[in-house]
Structure formats: C-alpha cells, structure tokens
Structure 1
Amino acid sequence: MIRFWQHITLRNRFFWWLGGLIILYTVSFFIPFLYPVAIVAMLFFAALTLVDAALLFIVKQPLSVSRRLPQVMSLHDENEVHLHITGRFPAGLRLRIIDELPQQLQKRDLELQYRLPARTSRELTYHLRPLERGAYHFGKVHIFISYLFGLAERKVSIDLEDMVKVYPSVMQMKKFELYTIRRIAHFQGMKKMRRIGHSYEFDQIKQYVPGDDVRSLNWKATGRSASLMVNHYEDEKAQQVYCLIDKSRTMKTPFDGLSLMDYAINTSLVISNIAVRKEDKAGIITFASKVNTVLRADRHAGQMRKILELLYNEKAIPEESSFEHLYYQVRRHVHVRSLLFLYTNFESYYAIERALSVLRKLNKLHLLVVVFFENEEINRYGDQDAGNTESVYLTTFAKRFTLEKQLIMQELNKYGIQTIITSPSDLTIHTINKYLELKSRGLA
C-alpha cells in the first residue's frame, strides 16, 4: 500500500473539482438542503479518485521506453534525441514525459505530453542545443500516466543512464563540405572566385581562348602549332594550412551562448576538413601565454579524427596571449611556407601595436590571415539615435570603438597582412571565402 501511494500523484483536474466541492460545502452552511448533496458529492468524488488511481495499476509494467542519442552531439547545433515508447496498457493513456537532461544544459522545463493509443509504439523527438564541449550524462526518464477521468497519475521511472560527447560543430563541418569544391556559388553568402593568378603545379597546354591570362602564353608551343597556346595550372596540392587559435582571456567574450574561442574552434574544424578534401595538409596550433598544443599538418585518413579530438579537449586560459612565443614555436614546428589562419581578438589599437612586429615576421615566413571579431552589440548601440547627453557620450564611444577596429584592419593591410573582420555568426562563411580566394589567386 505504501508503494502504491509513492507512485501516485494528483493532477490539476483533481484540485479543480475539489475546489468546487469545497465551495459547495461552504454554501451548504447557508443553504441547509445543499448539505446532503455536498456530502454525497464528496463521497462520490473520493470513490471516483480511488477507482481512477487503482485502474492505473491493472498492468504491472504499462510502458517500456528506450532513448536513442546521436553518436556524438554537435556544439551550438540542434541535435535530435528520440524516445521510443511501447504501451502495454489495454486502453489509451495520457502521458506526461520528463527526461533528466545533462546539467550543462541547465534546462529544467522540458516536458513532453502525448496521447498513446492502446498497445502501440510511438517515437517522440525533441531537440537540444548544447553550448559547451564535453561529456553529457542523461539520467532517468519519468513518465506520468493518467487514464479514464484524469484525476490521478501514476509515476513510472525508467533508468536510462546514457553519456554522449559534445564535439565542435560536426554538423556545420558536413554542411559546408557540400558547398565547397566547385559548388560554392550555390550557398548564401559565398561566391565563386575567378582564378587570376598561377599556382605552382603545371596542368596542361591548351589553345588560347579570350579571357585567358596572356602572361601564360607558351611561345614555343605557339610556334609549333601556328596558333596561340597557353599554359594551364592547377592549385598546388599538399600545401600546409594551419589554424592558430588564441585561447587567452580576450577570446572568452560570449556571443549567442558561445565564446569567441568556440566559434574559432568550429571554424577551424570546417577549414581543416575543406583543406584535407582539397588535398592540402591541415594542422592546429593553440596558444595563450605559451603554445599549448601543436598538431603537425597532414592529410592522411586519420588526421580529421586527431583534429576533432584535439579541439574537443581545448579550454580557454585566463592569461594574456604571447605572440612572441607563438612566433618562436611556428619557426620551430612549421618548416615550409604555409597558410596560417590566426584567430584572435584585438579590442584596441594599442593591442595591435604590441603584436604588429611579430605578425609582420610571421607574414614574411608564411601567408598569414589574421581573423578578429566585430562587437555586434556595440555596433548596434552606435547606430542608435542619441536622445540625451549621456546617450550622446555612449553612442560616440561605441562609434569610436567600431572605427578603431577598422583602423586595426587598415594597419595590418598596410604591411601586406591578410585580414578578416567579422561577426562571430559569419566567421565560418568569411573564412571559407578567404581560403578559396587565396587558392584561386595562387597565393596559397
């Protein structure tokens, strides 16, 4: 009997009816002929509730439930979780389902409601959007079932402890892979770049057609064939592409639930995958006050797995970034001219002045692309109309901050350093565009 009451809860409908009966009972003190009616109604209601609760136990195990998780979850994407429910009850049930979610999600309001027909199986789906990398542990599934009058519920708890790892955005990696090679033009925000320079690998000699680069004319072949012939080149293969990720305190700034470092990690995964697909070599270097991890560039079959595991384990470090130490380690580990994507964030002109000498040295040895971020909230604030003296001051400060970012970009460009300044949400698209642009121009 004790166990019976432990698994029974009363629904809101029960308390609504009980409230009505209490009102009827109160009124009966002033209208005496209602008193017997109130007593009979109260007894009938109590019997109805007991019958409703007892009927829920006519089947010992009314339900079986299984949870199906993806093999890995993708950071900052909508991931599907499936609950497969099989009913063994001889009649239809009303279900209220509560799944114990990982504590990282901080989600306590997930409740699924469903009507399950008699002796049938159904699959319910809900979505989760994780904002942290790491191991996520799921707990029990609690199902509250009600039947007939819907006054009482039976609680059924099923132990379905599961663990799934949340990796950098694998979904985003696959999504952008589909639109990269020769099909970039079909994706919003991307454009196909016309080849305007030479790569280093000769492809073939073809007859000249209008639009070909006249600097590629092959005069010897032209003399032999009596028609203009040009050399055609293809992208250099097996070039090294490194993503240099700043893990210092400047990259902990949040945007839409993720830190700037997480956006850089997601984009590094996408760029590395595209580089490997284009037969380049991809590598990763992370740093703060010193270089923490170095994964040498390669393109073998297991390289993307190594990159994924490395990025999965990276954590932000509350330190200042040391570009001098980064330069020393790049000189030590990267021995051939490579394409370097440096993900960092310069908040002031003073910050770029400190780092500029080192960045210029890096750019002499390699093709350096400095990627840093706009502050969208400050940009929006600067676009607002000022209504009083205080708002004039704040708006002016916001515009100055935005202008300073543009000055940083101009200073880098002055010394021949490639730059990308972007909002975090557009980081991946702009970085892919830059990579393909450099490849098409024969600079990378």
Structure 2
Amino acid sequence: MIYPSGRAVWAAAAGAVPAFLVALALPSFWYLGLLWSCLLLAFLAVDAAAGRGRASLNASIDAPQQVGVGGEFSVHVAARHSGPRAAEARVGHEARLAPVDGSGGALLPTAGGGSLNLRFQALRRGVASFDRLWVRWRGPFGLVWNQVVLPVESKVAVLPDVSSARGEAITLLQHAALAEGHAQRRAGQGREFDALKDYQPGMGRRMIDWKRSARHGKLLAREFRIEENNNIVLAIDSGRLMCEPVDGVPKVDRAVTAALLSAFIALKGGDMVSLFGFDARPRVSSGAVRGPASFAMIQKRAAEIDYSSEETNFTLALTTLAARLDRRSLVIIFTDFVDPISAELMLRTVGRLTERHLVLFMMMKDTELEGLADLPPRSGEDVARAVVAGGLLRERQVVIGRLRLLGAHVIEADHNRLGPALVERYLQFKQEDLL
C-alpha cells in the first residue's frame, strides 16, 4: 500500500498558491500553473518506485508466554530488510491488552533492519494475541509512505493473580498441619497402607494382619493413612450467568481464583488435579496432573477459560466429563443459576454423576438479590423489588435443596470467602475419608 506523506501534502499546498497567482496574473498562460503539479507527481512516482522493498521485508514479534492480570510486559518488534532504513511499526492487539505508551513507533536502526520495544498492560484474564503488524517507510524524497501488513501469531496467556492465593494456601496448610505438603497421617484412618505396628489394646480386630502376626509370633496391626492420589476435577462454568460481575469482578474470575487455590493445596497434598471448563459445550480439558511442579500448567490452562455470552449446557458438559472419568473422583463444579427451570437439566445430570463420584457445588451468594430483599419499603417500587428478589432467593434454595437430596454437597459462600471455604471442605473430605 502506497499513500502520500505529510511532506507531499504540504508541498502540494505550497505549489497551489503560486499556481493560482500565475493564473490570476497571466490568464493566457494558465497552464504554467500545472508545471508544479506535474513536477510533484513525477517526484511522487520516483519516490514510490525507489521506496519499494516488500519482497525483502521480514518482521517478527517477541512477547512473553504468560503474564499476570494487571502486570506490564515488553513486546520486542524486529524488522529485517535490505532497502529502507528508517521505518515505523505498529502492532495489532486484543482488548485484553492496553498499550502503555502507544502501540507503535519508529524502529531503531540495527544491523540489517530495525527494532522497537513496546510496553503493554494485561487487563483481563484469558489468552491474548498479537495478530498483525503494520510496517511503513518513506521513499528517498520522503513524499510517500510504503506500508505493508504482515500477519503474525504471538499469544500471551494472561493468568490470574495467584499471589494472594498462594499466601492463603500456605496458611491453610499450616493450619491443617500438612507438613511439607504431605497428607496428615492418622493411624486407623484412610485406606492406603502405611506400615505395620505392634497391636495395642483398643485397636479394632480388623486392623490385625493375621498372616504377618503368625510369621513373627506376635500380633501386628496394619496402619493406614489418608490416600494421597485422589482424583480432583475442577469444573468451571463460564456461561452467561457466570460472566456477570460481583463487586466489580466477573464470577468466573472469582471461580478461577478459588479453583487455583484448591489446586495448589491438592497438588501439595499429593492428589491429582484436572481442569474442565465449559459453557454451551466443553471448552477446556486438561489431563490429570500430580505434584507441585504441575501447578504452572494448571494455571496456564485456567487462562484459556474465556468469557462467554452463551447459555450453559449442563447436560452436554457433565455427560462429557463423566465419560472421561475412569475412577471415583471429587468433582467440584463452579456454577450459578437463577431458578429451578434453568437448573432442571442440570439436576437430571447430577443425579447420574453422584452415583459414582463425590460432587461438590460451589456457588457465590447473590448479594444484589439479598440487598434488594432487605430493602426498606419506602415506596411501592421498593416493595415490588423486595418481593421479586425474595421469590428468586427462595427458588434458589429449592434448587440447592434438591441438589443435596441427590447426594451432592453444596457450598454457598461469600465471593471473598469462596476459596478458603472450598479448601476447608476439601480437607474435611480427606479427614473423613470420603474421597
């Protein structure tokens, strides 16, 4: 693409005044005023032809693979060409990213090309991409711009800020006495064999290992511990209702933060963790991983859970999830609903899921509805709002009650306590040997 520069516009404007004066003073020689225009067009043609260099142009974008929400990072633009030396570049980016000092600028000359460093800030969680790069340069006279659009593919995973989650996780681990991230060993609890010990009065007879007792000539009892290889599935609904904000932050973002907190705890405790995201259909599915080193992978996959405006299809999502589970698992579902009609299909699927797995629903309290229900009746509109809000809250409790009748566990916590409440219930499940 070739178009005139500001210098060409000013040159044309400067030549228009003398041409007008010549035509005014010498009407019979009016055509002399066109000489400047013809001369300018000739220079423009020469400048455009001399400045061509698309075939020799090659550019690339270097950006970090991941960054936290609200963090700033640098993007390096490198252009290599054999012709023009002075060039400018501009990058195309998604709305998740905001340029700090602009999205383009002049390329600093380097050997065989130029480079440019730009600063961006990550605004929203997700996978942001730089999809194109504009590069332009002037001809030798500076009268025209030669511009090309280069397709590039550079993605940056905008991850949730887990610094506070890590601090909460460490506090909860210390509180639960999970030293060095291992599951607390309790004699006589759990199903995983740990060691043999001398039989003591008060121990159950089922703990006696009769074969080894006969071999050693004394009573030996089996000591068990809580299993460390349980399968934990974090299923996050990213449908329309979950994208509504709560205290300025979308529900799905709060769910992802709580899920990462529980994933950090579970991985430190020796359990296996997998992530599953869905809305109208399954979107994100990670395999089960184990060990604290796998937390970075879970965190990166969590960035792929995008915001959606579609209605959640619980039947398709939970049926797909159940088909992928080949062993008993703790399925933690982060979701929301407003009435029994929208949750009817979910209830049917949950009934089949609870037959084999331990299901836990995590929901945030609807503070807006609670505030409307408790609104002082100063006018008729306030009374109407309070009645409608109270009815919706009662219908919500009906659905929660039906979930519990189906065998599912339900936690309805404040949005600031969602993560700690989940971790406390998870540790309670392990202590009670329910996993």
Q: Is the 8 A contact 2:187 2:224 kept in 1?
A: no
Q: Which residue of 2 aligns with 1:290?
A: 281
Q: Which residue of 2 aligns with 1:183?
A: 175
Q: Is the 8 A contact 1:131 1:258 kept in 2?
A: no
**1:165–1:269 CA distance, 2 compared to 1 (3 A):** same
Tell me which of 150, 161, 166 is aligned to 1:174: 166
Deviation at 1:200, TM superposition (A): 1.7
Distance 1:75 1:356 in 2: 35
Q: Which residue of 1 aligns with 2:148?
A: none
Show the 5 A alignment for 1:143-158: none
Distance 1:389 1:252 in 2: 31
Tell me which of 418, 430, 433 is aligned to 2:424: 433
- Tell me which amino acid in the other structure corresponds to 2:433: G
What secondary structure is seen at the aligned counterpart in 2 of 1:283?
strand
- 1:241 paired with 2:236, answer no
Tell me which of 244, 250, 257 is aligned to 2:241: 250
- Tell me which amino acid in the other structure corresponds to 2:314: F
Distance 2:188 2:388 in 1: 42
**1:321–1:165 CA distance, 2 compared to 1 (3 A):** closer
Q: Is the 8 A contact 1:216 1:232 kept in 2?
A: no
Distance 2:383 2:319 in 1: 45
**1:215–1:289 CA distance, 2 compared to 1 (3 A):** farther
Tell me which of 349, 358, 361 is aligned to 1:367: 358
Deviation at 1:279, TM superposition (A): 0.6
**1:440–1:195 CA distance, 2 compared to 1 (3 A):** farther
Distance 2:187 2:261 in 1: 25
Q: Which residue of 1 aligns with 2:265?
A: 274
Deviations 1:156-207 (A, max 9, x none): xxxxxxx996411221331122123342489xxxxxx998994221334567
Q: What runs of 5+ residues in structure 1 fail to find an aligned partner? A: 1-69, 82-101, 109-127, 138-162, 187-192
- 1:390 paired with 2:392, answer no
Q: Which residue of 1 aligns with 2:105?
A: none
Show the 5 A alignment for 1:259-270: 259-270=250-261
- Tell me which amino acid in the other structure corresponds to 2:403: L
- Tell me which amino acid in the other structure corresponds to 1:286: G
- Tell me which amino acid in the other structure corresponds to 1:423: D
Q: Which residue of 1 aligns with 2:19?
A: none
Deviations 1:285-333 (A, max 9, x none): 1111211121111215652222111111221222121222123322332
What secondary structure is seen at the aligned counterpart in 2 of 1:179?
helix
Query: TM-score, normalised to structure 2's length?
Result: 0.59
Deviations 1:103-147 (A, max 9, x none): 869899xxxxxxxxxxxxxxxxxxx9955456699xxxxxxxxxx
Q: Where has structure 1 moved over 3 Å in runs of 4 or more?
A: 70-76, 102-108, 128-137, 163-166, 193-198, 204-210, 212-221, 227-232
Deviation at 1:406, TM superposition (A): 2.1
Q: CA RMSD in A?
A: 4.1
Distance 2:405 2:97 in 1: 45
| Percent of aligned pairs sharing the same letter | 22
Deviations 1:247-271 (A, max 9, x none): 2111111012221111111112111
Query: TM-score, normalised to structure 1's length?
Result: 0.58
Show the 5 A alignment for 1:184-223: 184=176, 198-204=189-195, 218=208
Show the 5 A alignment for 1:41-60: none
Q: Which residue of 1 aligns with 2:300?
A: 309
Distance 2:220 2:375 in 1: 59
What secondary structure is seen at the aligned counterpart in 1 of 2:235?
strand
**1:367–1:283 CA distance, 2 compared to 1 (3 A):** same
- 1:340 paired with 2:325, answer no
Deviation at 1:377, TM superposition (A): 1.6
Deviation at 1:242, TM superposition (A): 0.8
Deviation at 1:237, TM superposition (A): 1.6
Deviation at 1:389, TM superposition (A): 2.8
- 1:413 paired with 2:396, answer no
Q: Is the 8 A contact 2:328 2:358 kept in 1?
A: yes
Distance 1:361 1:214 in 2: 35
Question: 392-401 or 358-367, which moves further after superposition?
Answer: 392-401
Deviations 1:230-254 (A, max 9, x none): 7543211211111111121111110
Distance 2:128 2:157 in 1: 4
Deviations 1:352-410 (A, max 9, x none): 22211101111112111112222112112222322233322221222222222222221
Deviation at 1:75, TM superposition (A): 3.9
Q: Is the 8 A contact 2:157 2:300 kept in 1?
A: no
- Tell me which amino acid in the other structure corresponds to 2:334: Y
Distance 2:200 2:375 in 1: 53
Aligned length: 303
What secondary structure is seen at the aligned counterpart in 2 of 1:268?
helix
Q: Is the 8 A contact 2:238 2:308 kept in 1?
A: yes
Q: What runs of 5+ residues in structure 2 fail to find an aligned partner? A: 1-63, 74-93, 101-120, 131-154, 179-183
- Tell me which amino acid in the other structure corresponds to 1:320: E
**1:262–1:333 CA distance, 2 compared to 1 (3 A):** same
